[in-house]
Amino acid sequence: MNMNVDTQKIELIDWITHLNDQHVINKVLSLKKKLSSQQEKRNTKVFGSGKHLIEYIADDFDEPLELFDAYKQ
């Protein structure tokens, strides 16, 4: 059965609203917390995590470009 994401969400919401077993509800809540914390970790930027990505910078990197000479007036 190939459902789109919105249909799957609605099905899950409907299923959760009919849950009566506290143990199952706690498992679902635990899964939600685990997935939420993993997602927060993925979205967290870490300072310095990109070091060593730049392998070469030309000696004249900071020099003005001739292309912009017309705008220097």
Beta carbons of 27 and 35 less than 8 angstroms apart: no
In which band, very low, low, confident or very high, does the pLDDT at 43 lie, cut at 50, 70 and 90? Answer: low
The model's pLDDT over 3-40, given as tens digits with 9 standing for 90+, comes to 799 999 999 999 999 999 999 999 999 999 998 887 76
Q: What is the pLDDT of residue 27?
A: 93
Question: Rounded to an integer, what distance in angstroms lies between the CA atom of residue 24 and that of residue 41?
Answer: 26
Question: Rounded to an integer, what distance in angstroms lies between the CA atom of residue 14 and that of residue 7?
Answer: 11
Residue 1 scores a pLDDT above 60: no
The domain spans of the chain are 1-44
Write down the pTM of the prediction. Answer: 0.45
Q: What is the pLDDT of residue 70?
A: 87
